[in-house]
Amino acid sequence: MAVESPKVGKRILPSLTPEQLDYLIDQVECNRDKAIISLFADSGLRLSELANVNRHNIDWQHRLIKVICKGNKEGYAPFGSRTEKLLREWLAQCPASNKLWDISEWGISWMLRKLAAKTSLPCNAHTFRRTFASILAKRGIDSLHIMRLGRWESIQMVERYTRSVQFEDSLRFYKAPLS
């Protein structure tokens, strides 16, 4: 007689609230680190995408950054006005070079680990990517648009990243078909 294995629940990985993002940005003193955290949250960039941004890849008029995505594909990442302000502040004080940051992927990860220890909040590139997707979903943006904005390959990946979105979050957008 075959015994069925127990069903394992799908783990909900952490994402942050807008208030927690504000708190994280307030906790770092360096303009570069503020810009990094803000850009992670606004764009859902992967660590490698963010670390390899060049200055000339920024389209200030449209608030987009051209990035090299997984599979060496070209993509675009949006960002908002606060990130623009923080990026401009960082660029006004940083050494002139083609690279946007004076820090490697490892250095960014280390900075985020120190910030996590200081704030007791989950703080890594994937948390920011999940936060990006979850906040957009909670604002009523559908999975297809989130997939395109976050440069995901499939809707299933977006659904994995937005597991923290609850029924109550979705209920805000419900309109009865026979109203």
- Provide the residue ranges of all domains of the chain, joining segments of one domain with +: 18-166
The CATH topology of domain 18-166 is hpI Integrase; Chain A (1.10.443)
* 152 dihedral zone (left: phi>0; alpha: psi -120 to 50; beta): beta
Q: What is the pLDDT of residue 14?
A: 80
Mean pLDDT of the chain: 90
- Whether residue 32 has pLDDT greater than 90: yes
- Whether residue 8 has pLDDT greater than 70: no
- Whether residue 101 has pLDDT greater than 80: yes
CB-based contacts of 119, cutoff 8 Å, min separation 6: 23, 24, 27
69 contacts 75 by C-beta, under 8 angstroms: yes
- Whether residue 124 has pLDDT greater than 90: yes
Q: What is the pLDDT of residue 92?
A: 93
Torsion of CA 18, 20, 21, 27, to 10 degrees: 150
Q: What is the pLDDT of residue 66?
A: 96
pTM to 2 decimals? 0.86
- Whether residue 5 has pLDDT greater than 80: no
Q: What is the pLDDT of residue 7?
A: 67
